[in-house]
Amino acid sequence: MQRDRAGRALASFLENVLEILRRGVKLGGFPEPLYKQLSRPERIVIVKIPVRMDDGRLEVFEGYRVQHNSALGPYKGGIRFHPEVTLEDDVALATLMTLKNSLAGLPYGGGKGAVRVNPRELSVRELEELSRGYVRALAPVLGEQVDIPAPDVGTDPQVMAWMVDEYSKVLGRNVPAAFTAKPPVLWGNPVREYATGFGCAVISREAAEKYLGGFRGCSLAIQGFGNTGQWHAYWAAKLGAKVVAVSDTSGAVYDPEGIDVERAIEVKRKTGKVTNYPEGEKLRDPQAPLYVDADIVAPDAIENQITVENVDKVKAKIIVEGANGPTTPEAEKKLYERGVVVIPDILANAGGVVMSYLEWVENLQWYSWGEEETRARLERIMMNNFQRVYERYEELRSRRSDVTFRDAALVISLQRLYEAMKVRGWL
């Protein structure tokens, strides 16, 4: 259990997600059974994954796949390899996928997988064994019309390549649509690699246009320099913003004059630490970008980063949630009291799964649209999603002053889930 400095118990990630869900059900005027349906996953599968380590030892890992809800279609969501992830976190993440996929209008339910492991401590061979073992153990409950995984924190297209290869071997036929974000040579789409960050940049631009009078020259600080953070920074710079801070576990780089993002990405890829970037001020705290002077702050790492403990230090006017669940409900309330707008994860970081959907459609048709066309489609979908939530937010806020952007996103998402469950006879 996480505690604050005074020793009080902090709500867990799952408790926070359930609170958000409860609020959405109430605000949208949906019947209580909708909450009952969505507050529990349909199925949780726990598997053991034995891996022969390089030193000859047998290690047995525990793997999860949470299949949260399938009212709108097959389960869809990533697989996280992280040393601190728990089954409870996986349930929270799967719940967010159901809400995200519904909001984006995709024909998917929500799911998420996890293995509690630090992938950086594994050799390439051990990582491959673990990835293949995960799929062998879960193969009976996966599939292109059943449950379609993708990467999440700690996994990438190489992991997807091993996984789709293993799954195709188990089934004895080529099944590319069963996994998304594969390398382009294995039926992946080249946009998927940067889709989450690209989507975050498009959403940052849309939010800046509505609330800051434009995106050009806006300052943006990014916490977390993994796949989402790097590509968010890259595309935001391309779209005209000034990236003033980035960070990874090694610390932060701050430069009010603007960071050369391409160079920072190169440094990160070559040396593993963004703090080896030669210019700017180096700050030891990886959370530093959350507190610097910037118009927009993007927590692009993991959950529970902006909490009641540190929310008073956040100076930005807009928060764009690249990570899943980075702002706790209590902290969000304080931000809104100060006039800060929080663009929620289920809207802001949906670019990844929207692109996964486009890749899946390509695979099912054995056809490929190519990079430019897919990126244009992705951008259109993200802009349209933003506009729908923005309009609902403004409409709800004219009636109730305490409504948030997240509430508006939730009400839209829940409406679609409610209708699907209703006609299926689940409610």
Write out the catalytic residue numbers. 112
Q: Which is nearer to ligand GLU, 43 or 263 (CB)?
A: 43
Closest contact distance (angstroms) between CB of 69 and ligand GLU is 14
**Residue 352 in the binding site for ligand GLU (CB under 6 A):** yes
Q: Report the b/e string of 279-308 with b at 16+ CB within 10 A.
A: ebeebeebbbbbbbebbbbbbbbbbbbbbe
Binder to ligand GLU among 95, 102, 356, 385 (CB under 6 A)? 356
Q: Which is nearer to ligand GLU, 49 or 353 (CB)?
A: 353
Closest contact distance (angstroms) between CB of 63 and ligand GLU is 16
**Residue 150 in the binding site for ligand GLU (CB under 6 A):** yes
Order the strands of the 58-69 sheet from edge to edge: 43-52, 58-69, 110-116, 75-82, 147-151
Tell me which amino acid residue 11 is.
A
Choices 33-41, 129-137, 202-210, 349-357; region in contact with ligand GLU by CB under 6 A: 349-357
Which pair of tokens denotes residue 246? 């980035």
Closest contact distance (angstroms) between CB of 327 and ligand GLU is 16
Pairing state of beta strands 318-320 and 341-343? parallel
Within residues 175-214, the interface with ligand GLU by CB under 6 A covers 180
Q: Considering only CA atoms, which of 114, 117, 127, 54 is closest in space to residue 88? A: 114
Alpha helical stretches, state H, 274-365: 329-337, 345-348, 351-365
**Residue 353 in the binding site for ligand GLU (CB under 6 A):** yes
Helix, strand, or coil (residue 247): strand
Which pair of tokens denotes residue 327? 């702002």
325 and 75 in contact (C-beta within 8 Å)?
no
Binder to ligand GLU among 28, 77, 110, 224 (CB under 6 A)? 77
Q: What are 318's strand-pairing partners?
A: 296, 341
Binder to ligand GLU among 68, 76, 132, 182 (CB under 6 A)? 76
User: What is the number of other CB atoms lying within 10 angstroms of the CB of residue 142?
Assistant: 26
Binder to ligand GLU among 78, 289, 325, 326 (CB under 6 A)? 78
Within residues 324-343, the interface with ligand GLU by CB under 6 A covers 324
Residues that bind ligand GLU (CB under 6 A): 76-78, 150, 152, 180, 324, 349, 352-353, 356
